[in-house]
């Protein structure tokens, strides 16, 4: 729909089409937020996911202090 609107001049797009496009954008945003919340909930309750995230942070020298200590402890527990 956005591609079709891009081919038209702004005055050629009806208000109904603009409203439909805005509604679809809002629905897409809601779905994206819901997806993000589901992934965050899953990741926060799963040790392996947290371990992978911390491993990526460690590889980029971004894991320090208490988070690093928790990563090491979790690594020993998982082994």
Say what the pLDDT of residue 30 is: 97
Q: Is the pLDDT of residue 69 over 80?
A: yes
- Is 68 exposed, middle or buried, given 0-12, 13-18 or 19+ CB atoms closer than 10 A? middle
Instruction: Give domain limits for the chain.
Output: 1-45, 46-79
Percentage of residues in the chain having pLDDT higher than 70:
100
Note the pLDDT of residue 14. 82
pLDDT tens, position by position, 27-52: 999 999 999 999 888 877 888 888 99
For the whole model, what pTM was predicted?
Answer: 0.55
CB contact at 8 A, 53 and 43: yes
């Amino acid at each position: 729909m956005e591609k079709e609107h891009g081919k038209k001049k702004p005055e050629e797009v009806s208000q109904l089409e603009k409203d439909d496009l805005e509604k679809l954008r809002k629905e897409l945003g809601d779905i994206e937020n819901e997806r993000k919340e589901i992934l965050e909930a899953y990741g926060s309750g799963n040790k392996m996911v947290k371990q992978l995230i911390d491993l990526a942070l460690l590889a980029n020298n971004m894991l320090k202090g208490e988070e690093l200590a928790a990563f090491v402890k979790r690594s020993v527990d998982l082994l």
